[in-house]
Amino acid sequence: MLALLELLQSGGVRTMAELAERLGVEPRTVRRYVNHLVDLDLPVESVRGRYGGYRLAAGYRLPPLMLSDDEALAVLLGLIAGRRAGLATATGTAGETASAKIRRVLPSRTADRLDAALQSLAFTAEPADFPAPRTEVLLAVAEAVRHHRPISLQYTSGDGRRSVRVLHPFGLVNHSGRWYATGIDPAIGEERTFRLDRITHARPLPGSFEPPAGNDPAGHLLRSMARAPYQHAVSLRIQGTVEQIRRRLPASIAEVREGADEGWQDVEIRAESLDWLPGVLAALDLPFVIERPDELRDRVVALAERLAASARRDPARS
């Protein structure tokens, strides 16, 4: 509707065919948009005849952007936070140009106050530095998700191999600053996850598909990460609730299932290194049994001995 309003505001009579082509929609959609604008008391006039179409009443202009101090600050902080958290796309300047446009149309008093707030702002964490997806790729995948359409992806894997993949996408997920597309590869009938920054081109395909019941793109991504092949496969039994275990072992790290013994959970972890696990298990403060590997058991015993030795140390001699 805003795009239609901008076209009409440029002046003159715009034909139905022209508006439909410029907006990329059917003529009936243009009529529906016009009716919505009229319902909002905007002076859109219908011009009949061979060269008829629609126009805005003479002298009408869009009002300036009207935001309260709270709303303007929320928008600008959202743009800044999005860039720092890795939510931006490959068009890295888009957030900056959007901020500049908002500042230009705000009243000077409000703009000055917001600039003071933003210039005073400091962050304790470094900004995210993740490769960003292409805007056209993200939008193409999002549209395929929304309309349940297959999509062809030109993909480069982590080891540099290039391929063309077909995906029935279920959702887009942003996890720890990276964008992912989840769905099913129809060629093999299995769930797949693709990093959007590794997709160079995305093209919708004819047809449609039906997403599975109970579809959970974020959950699928976390499960696939927890199941990814790593150097060490760790198997534990931990006494406690799933909620207690998840405080230290999130779904992206560990799979947690109800164990055979009441009150115990079976936990599977895949890790490149075992160095971090003894400290995490100690921080759980829950009884646990290490089923494999033996190397982890040795590391936990070594940590316990170092902690016990430090606790016995006489502070007067240190």
Residue boundaries of the structural domains of the chain: 2-56, 76-120, 135-211, 229-310
pLDDT (0 to 100) of residue 194: 93
pLDDT (0 to 100) of residue 221: 87
What DSSP state is assigned to residue 14?
B
Is the domain covering 135-211 a CATH 2.30.30.100 domain? Answer: yes
Q: Report which secondary-structure segment, H or E, holds 223.
A: helix 217-227
* Cα gap 251→226, rounded to integer Å: 7
> Residue 182's closest CA among 174, 190, 136, 173?
173
pLDDT (0 to 100) of residue 64: 60
Q: How many CA atoms lie within 13 A of 179 on its CB side?
A: 22
pLDDT (0 to 100) of residue 90: 57
pLDDT (0 to 100) of residue 314: 82
Is the domain covering 229-310 a CATH 3.30.230 domain? Answer: no
* Cα gap 6→2, rounded to integer Å: 6
Q: Give φ, ψ of 58 to 5 degrees.
A: -55, 135
* Cα gap 314→12, rounded to integer Å: 89
- Record the tokens describing residue 148, joined without a space: 């349940």
pLDDT (0 to 100) of residue 150: 95
Q: Give φ, ψ of 109 to 5 degrees.
A: -65, -45
Geometric angle at alpha carbon 44, from 38 and 50, rounded to 5°: 125
The 3-state secondary structure of 95-164, one letter per residue? HHHHHHHHHHHCCHHHHHHHHHHHHHCCCCCCCCCCCCCCHHHHHHHHHHHHHCCCEEEEEECCCCCEEE
Per the DSSP assignment, residues forming a β-bridge with 239 are 264
Ordered per-residue pLDDT tens for the chain, 318 residues: 878 887 887 778 888 888 888 888 998 898 899 998 888 788 888 888 776 788 888 766 666 666 677 787 788 888 888 777 767 665 556 777 777 777 777 777 878 888 888 888 888 877 777 778 888 999 999 999 999 999 999 999 888 899 999 999 999 998 877 899 999 999 898 889 999 999 999 999 999 999 888 888 988 888 887 777 788 889 999 999 999 999 899 888 899 999 989 999 999 998 889 999 999 999 999 999 999 999 999 999 999 999 999 998 888 775
- Enter the CATH code of domain 2-56: 1.10.10.10
| Residue type present at position 7 | L
pTM of the predicted model, to two decimals? 0.58
Q: Do the beta carbons of residue 102 and residue 75 sit within 8 Å?
A: yes
* Cα gap 260→254, rounded to integer Å: 18
